[in-house]
Amino acid sequence: MLMDNRLKQVPVLIFANKQDMPDAMSASEVAEKMSLVQLQGRTWEIKACTASKEPNKQVSEWTLTINNYKVQLWDINGELKNRQIWPNYYQKAKVLIFVLDSKDALRLSEARCVLCDVLMHQELNKAPLLIVSNKKDTSGSLPVSTVIDLMGLERLQGRDWSIKECSMQTGAGIPEIMDWITNKIDKNKK
């Protein structure tokens, strides 16, 4: 996927996880293993991540350039104890991306309730919604039609929404998600 010429302009951000573990690969080892040096003319960056979350870390923030747009992303921790801070970010949101584990059917009912609560906030009325159905590369992942049904998405009348499948592990579906984000930013500017 990284060698695909259609993605030449897309910067590559690699999260090297578990960097706090004793046997973690160095940044140069990750770059070599992923053949990043072969990405001539491409912008790429490796960010180190730790295996254990910081106990008080509620939000991770990144600023990326996607298709010539500077995009600020907030990964707002979904744990119950952290949900009270979510409204602090709603006013700034231009798009809303809700990531689901497509393999965990039991938690989809909880996710549905959480999404309903989020969508009740007036600040998000005009924000296009993208449901990201993650882990499509694993056995037992639910088909999109089942996710739509279990999440009650067909009932979202009057809201601009879409669903995309992906695998954060393999990168499949990520370019389509990036295109969706930039298309919505384009549309909102007009």
135 is in an annotated binding site: yes
Q: pLDDT tens across 104-137, in order?
A: 888 888 889 889 988 999 999 989 999 999 999 8
Provide the residue ranges of all domains of the chain, joining segments of one domain with +. 1-52, 56-189
Return mean pLDDT, the chain. Answer: 78
The model's confidence at residue 165, banded by pLDDT at 50, 70 and 90, is very high
189 is in an annotated binding site: no
- Would you tell me how many other CB atoms lie within 10 Å of the CB of residue 135? 20
Quick one: pLDDT at residue 148? 95
Quick one: pLDDT at residue 135? 92
Cα 72 to Cα 9: distance, rounded to the nearest angstrom: 18
Q: 56-189 maps to which CATH number?
A: 3.40.50.300
Asked if residue 78 lies in contact with residue 114, where contact means CB atoms within 8 angstroms, the answer is yes
134 is in an annotated binding site: yes
Q: In the chain, what is the straight-line distance between the N-terminal and C-terminal CA atoms, in Å?
A: 32
8 is in an annotated binding site: no
DSSP-derived secondary structure letter, 47: E
Q: Which amino acid is located at 104 in the chain?
A: D
Cα 7 to Cα 157: distance, rounded to the nearest angstrom: 34
- Global pTM reads 0.67
Asked if residue 129 lies in contact with residue 159, where contact means CB atoms within 8 angstroms, the answer is yes
